[in-house]
Structure 1
Amino acid sequence: MSTPVPGVPASATDPRAPEVAWRRMHPITPALKGWKALIALLAIVAYNMTDNIRNIGELMQDGRWRYVVAVVLAIAAVGFAYATIAWRVTKFVVDDEAVHLHTGVLFRQQRQARLDRLQAVDIVQPLLARLTGLAELRLEVAGGTGSAVSLAFLRESDAEALRAELLARAAGIRVRPDEAPAARAPEQPVFEVPMPRMLASTLRSSTTGWFVVFAVVIVASVVATRQIAPVFTLVPALLGVGGAMWTRVNQGANFRAAISPDGIRLRHGLTEARAQTVPPGRVQALRFTQGPLWRGPDWWRVEMNVAGYGGEKNQQTENVLLPVGTREEALLALWLVLPDLQVDDPRALLAAALAGSGEAGGFTSVPRRARLLDLVGWRRRGFLVTDRALFVRYGRIVRHLVVVPHERTQSLALKQGPIQRTLRVASIDVHSTAGPVHPMVEHLDQDVAAALLDEQTERARTARAGAGPEQWMRRPEAS
């Protein structure tokens, strides 16, 4: 009997296993990847040339610019040739256990994304890929930094079909080689963010507020000193604010959320379109945030921790469940993750959690002596435990609410610094997967904190024991 080799399909080592068909990326892939090296080279040349205007004039007069162009073209040719060779040696195959990917020109690399550890499947379309009808399929797998597997680039329809196949296999549905699962499972739209609201919320963001404060200080300085020089410091600040605003609008544009049998579907993006599918039960924690400039329209932003996304650089894109929404839409976002809160009035619970303070809504608040550790927001601090999740509320100027399903609690720790010991308070750190949400219940009475640690540990253990299977759509075997 042959022994399975990690990262290699069974057919490669077991002659009795059915043959698998290796697939390649789209033939245009080298062109989409090779241009990046050319752009980088041109940027370096432009930077060095503009550093000294005289050099540009000398090149133009002596005709040496031809040599520069020749070098650029030669390097571009080498870059495209390398991208073509890399495309030729890159191949992948899908079986019932994993996606196997072979890459590398000088150094060969074999990677696999186990389907039982699949956390999310994204379809990403940068601008050039959208123009050519191609897409990148990105598989997020539990395992921390570097665990993502990227298949770039595929025809958009092929990427959709492959995503459906992977989600079906991950859900426990056996797919025969001659079968082609539907590219899209039926879905139910939940909410979408109108573009005018996206623009208005960006203008009302804290970035804009800090820029206004900075501008007022600069203008006051100019008036007081009668010197115009401080005005020029506004230029880099203005560029930074403009870049931050554009990033938020570009990533949140056309944001839509839907629910389907294969998970939560999120679509968003202006110049780079992204379609995310997060399978059921893979969201580890949620955070609701409301800045002071969002109080009037009562808007909220909802972020999430998803195992596999923690190591990614662009968490602002992938970890957003709702970029800006009304309180009703915030409740819908919570419903996507926890369809049944197992409480009589979910709206009343959310109202107390988002905007309440003290003991309102059944929350356990921090003792009055803890105000020395949080002079402004100590009355907002508190927690509430339901049969489904732990709710943690904090923040007076910027309101926050963190929700952690019991079965998604990784571990807990009680922390007490020297000042906290003096005040007889302590904090509970609820460990979650890496991401923007860091659940922590701070400054509780030390006896309450100790009791919460024990009770929450037992709740997490019981919830994990009763959680559904990882392969959520697999039918029970007939007895």
Structure 2
Amino acid sequence: MVRGWAVVGGAIFIIGQQTLDGGPDDRGVVGLLTSPFWWTVPTGLLLIGLVGFGFALLAWRMTTYAVGEETVHLRRGVVFKQQRHARLDRLQAVDVRQPLVARLFGLSELKLEVAGGSDSGIAIGYLRDADANELRNELLARAAGLKSTVVAPALPGPDAVADAQAPQERHLAAPEAPAQPVLEVPMGRLIASLLRTSVTIFFVLFIAALVATVVVTGTPQIVFAVIAPFIGIGGYLFNRFSTEFAFRIAISADGIRLRHGLLETRAQTIPPGRVQAVAITQSLLWRSRDWWRVEVNVAGYGSDGGSGTTNVLLPVGTRDEALTVLSLVLPDLGSDNPRAVLDAGLTGDSRTAGPFTGSPRNAVWVDPVGWRRQGYAVTGRALLLRSGRLRRALAVVPHERTQSLGIAAGPVQRRLGVASFEVHSTPGPVSPAVHHLAAADAAELLEEQSARARTARAHAGPERWMEDPR
């Protein structure tokens, strides 16, 4: 039922679009609905619905999954068979999704994100809500290195022969790890933050210009010509509000837990040590309120994660809240005064004292606006890169999560003796880089950061974070 409605909804959308394209005249679908052949539209929808629900039924019948001590297996496919395997020691995150229709039936989809290439995750759906949560707890426990408790039921009677039939083994479900709430984003702040975005301002100006054009020209048909961008901008704003609605953060033994969503609710669990990079950003319109946004790179999520918010740890929050969320990812920054280091990265520049090494003065020729904000700092646990004058940004990369490093310098940069330093992370919204450093500083940072990354990886804990490394 959940998957079949997607086909019917798509058909209704196409018919609705054709109706709008018909405009105020009796053309297209509008003309068809007023003709003697009006019955063809509901009949077509009925046939499409039968095909959609029939194919969804076959897909459901052909989908099976199994969970082992080391691996999760998924088999599905009607026309093309597909078998997928996910190693639990490579588990990066576990999400429980509840689309609107699935929520009406009490169903959820469990999605496992693993370290790998694009589309490397496994989606098991749809399950009953209780079964999905129980399976999530079991997978997180196994990924952490906890062994399942196995109980062999007693034989049916005292005279039963032991080898007549081997008893079935029963795995006890892993209990859900208790979670400690950290913070919740108020709805009023979320709405205010969306109003203070360049997209909203452009949307308001777009509507004002459209209304003025219709009034001056007296041709309301113009609305049909610009309906696509109108829906696109409005849809983007509504999607941001819907997916970031009721955003809650909690911490537990199995990782960082996020829950959010209006139409589609999503419960995410990011196990310890799975975050590859963190970015704390602030737009110009948020500066008067000192609001910040926190995004992360997680292997397997990619740049968008499928919903647009799986990479978001905090959609909007105060500075203290943003730093609190950062501490969930990196509890120990490896500095005697971490708050001073982070404040310098968030709002400081080359004119303020601090631990950051910035760009030389001649960088003004290639970056006249933001050259003073460019800089880097190194602590015992992470590399911090700051940038942006109008849109402030601070990227934090734990040393052990460094994938690779690079230096880039164009012809103008080489002439000025500057270069850009880049930290290559997994795909995601965070692109750690600091531009227009002195060439000698960039080369020294490249060599030293390579050594720090090797040392940190050698002393990193096991992938199964609750497993005894001995």
Q: What's the TM-score, normalizing by structure 1?
A: 0.87
Q: Within 5 Å, which residues of 2 pair with 1:309-388? A: 309-310=301-302, 312=304, 314=306, 316-358=308-350, 360-388=353-381
Alignment partner of 1:414 is 2:407: yes
Identify the range of structure 1 (45-54 vs 436-445) with the bigger mean alpha-carbon deviation. Answer: 45-54
Q: Output one character per residue of 1:223-275: Cα deviation in whole Å (capped at 9) or x when no partner.
A: 99999999999976654443222111111111111111111101111111000
Q: Which stretch of the first structure deviates more once superposed, 66-75 or 313-322?
A: 66-75
Report if aligned partners of 1:163, 1:183 keep a CA contact under 8 Å in 2: no
Tell me the secondary structure at the aligned position of residue 289 of structure 2: coil
For the pair 1:265 / 2:262, whether they are aligned, the reply is: no
Aligned equivalents of 2:4, 2:228: Cα separation in 1: 32
CA distance 1:274–1:296, change in 2 (3 Å): same
- How far off is 1:315 after superposition? 5.9
Q: How many residues align?
A: 447
Asked whether the equivalents of residues 18 and 28 of structure 2 are also in contact (C-alpha less than 8 Å), the reply is no
2:160 is the counterpart of 1:190: no
Q: Flag the 1:207–1:360 CA change in 2: closer, same or farther, 3 A.
A: farther
Give 1:53-92 correspondences, 5 Å limit. Answer: 53-54=26-27, 56=29, 59-60=32-33, 63-92=36-65
Match of 2:84 among 100, 105, 111: 111
Work out which of the residue numbers 80, 96, 107 in structure 2 matches 1:123.
Answer: 96
Judged with a 3 Å threshold, the aligned counterparts in structure 2 of structure 1 residues 302 and 64 are, in CA distance, closer, same or farther, namely same
**Preserved contact between residue 284 and residue 306 of structure 1 (Cα < 8 Å):** yes
- Find the aligned partners of 1:452 and 1:180 in 2 and give their Cα distance: 51
Question: Cα–Cα, structure 1 residues 227 and 147, in superposed 2: closer, same or farther, change >3 Å?
Answer: closer
2:397 paired residue number:
404
**Aligned amino acid, residue 405 of structure 2:** L
1:134 Cα shift? Answer: 0.9
1:213–1:418 Cα change, 3 Å: farther
How far, CA to CA, are the matches of 1:43 and 1:242 in structure 2?
17
- Which secondary structure state, in structure 2, belongs to the residue aligned with residue 64 of structure 1? coil
Cα contact 2:247–2:259 (8 A) shared by 1:
yes
2:373, 2:19 → 1: CA distance? Answer: 56
Of residues 157, 161, 172, the one that matches 2:145 is 172
One-letter code of the match for 1:120? A
Unaligned runs of 5+ residues in structure 1 are 1-30
Contact 2:385 2:432 in 1 (8 A): yes
In structure 2, the partner of 1:303 is 295
Equivalence map 1:130-169=2 (5 Å): 130-169=103-142
TM (norm. structure 2) is 0.88
Q: What SS is found at the alignment partner of 1:146?
A: coil
Q: 1:315 to 1:438 in 2, by over 3 A?
A: farther
Whole-Å separation in 1 of the counterparts to 2:30 and 2:196:
47
3-state SS in 1 of match to 2:46: helix
Corresponding residue number in structure 2 for 1:436: 429
Counterparts of 1:392 and 1:94 in 2: how far apart (Å)? 41
Q: Is the 8 A contact 1:162 1:183 kept in 2?
A: no
SS in 2 for 1:185: coil
DSSP 3-state at the match of 2:453: helix
Residues 81 and 226 of structure 1: is their aligned pair in 2 closer, same or farther, counting only changes over 3 Å? closer
Q: Which residue of 2 aligns with 1:286?
A: 278
- Rate the CA distance shift 1:62–1:167 in 2: closer, same or farther, 3 A: same
1:160 touches 1:183 (CA, 8 Å); kept in 2?
no
Instruction: State the shift of 1:75 in Å.
Output: 2.8
Instruction: Choose which of 39, 46, 53 in structure 1 pairs with 2:9.
Output: 39
User: Does the 8 Å contact 1:262/1:279 carry over to 2?
Assistant: yes
The residue matched to 1:44 in structure 2 has which SS?
A: helix
Q: Percent identity at matched positions?
A: 55
Residue 35 of structure 1 contacts residue 80 of structure 1 at CA under 8 Å; is this kept in 2?
yes
CA contact (8 A) 1:146 1:311 kept: no
Q: 2:459 is matched with which residue? A: 466
Give, in whole Å, the separation in 1 of the partners of 2:219 and 2:16: 34
1:247 match: 239
SS of 1:287 mapped into structure 2: strand
Q: Distance in 2 between matches of 1:50 and 1:354?
A: 48
Structure 1 residue 449 displacement after superposition:
0.6
Q: CA offsets, 1:394-418, max 9 Å, x none?
A: 1111111111110000010111110
RMSD: 2.8
Which amino acid is the alignment partner of residue 69 of structure 1?
P
Displacement of 1:176 after TM fit? 3.8
Q: Deviations over 1:440-459 (max 9, x none)?
A: 12111011111000000000
Once structures 1 and 2 are overlaid, which stretch shifts more, 454-463 or 67-76? 67-76
Distance 1:86 1:222 in 2: 49
Could you tell me how far apart the structure 1 residues matched to 2:221 and 2:78 are?
A: 54
Inter-CA distance 224–259: structure 2 relative to 1 (3 Å threshold): same
Is 2:250 the counterpart of 1:277? no
Deviation, structure 1 residue 213: 6.3
